[in-house]
């Protein structure tokens, strides 16, 4: 098996494995064995924010606003008025 990684990451990984008294190859074999034995990645992988939930909420908001617009809930605005609304929103952020 060949593993590609950034040269800086490889250098740091090799140095750390050396401190553990093993090669990077041995560390990768230990990882692979743990995955096979447990049937899962042996540590939690997650991001800082639940992206899927944010996208879902964002999509819900978009659909609600779109439905309101299609129902005529918003007054017709000229392009200049729309741009002014955007400028005002940016000023108040």
* pLDDT tens column, 36-58: 999 998 888 776 666 555 567 77
Q: Is residue 45 part of a domain?
A: no
pLDDT at 85: 85
In DSSP notation, 8-58 reads HHHHHHHHHHHHTTS-HHHHHHHHHHHHHHHTS-SS----SS-HHHHHHHH
Q: Which two tokens stand for residue 70?
A: 């299609």
In a shared domain, residues 31 and 58: no
- 63 with 84, same domain: the answer is yes
Q: Which residue has the tokens 């779109």?
A: 66
The parent domain of residue 14 ranges over 7-38
17-31 pLDDT per residue, tens: 999 999 999 999 999
Q: Does the pLDDT value for residue 91 go beyond 70? A: yes
Specify the pLDDT at position 52.
59
Asked whether residue 30 falls in the same domain as residue 55, the answer is no
Based on the fold, state whether residues 31 and 62 are members of the same structural domain: no
pLDDT band at residue 80 under the 50/70/90 scheme:
confident
**pLDDT band, residue 65 (cuts 50/70/90):** confident
The answer to whether residue 18 is domain-embedded is yes
> What is the model's pTM?
0.48
């Amino acid at each position: 098996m060949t593993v590609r990684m950034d040269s800086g990451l490889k250098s740091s990984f090799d140095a750390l494995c050396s401190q553990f008294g093993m090669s990077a190859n041995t560390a990768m074999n230990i990882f692979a064995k743990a995955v096979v034995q447990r049937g899962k990645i042996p540590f939690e992988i997650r991001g800082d924010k639940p992206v899927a939930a944010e996208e879902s909420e964002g999509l819900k908001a978009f659909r609600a606003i779109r439905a309101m617009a299609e129902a005529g809930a918003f007054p017709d605005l000229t392009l200049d008025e729309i741009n002014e609304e955007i400028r005002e929103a940016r000023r108040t952020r």
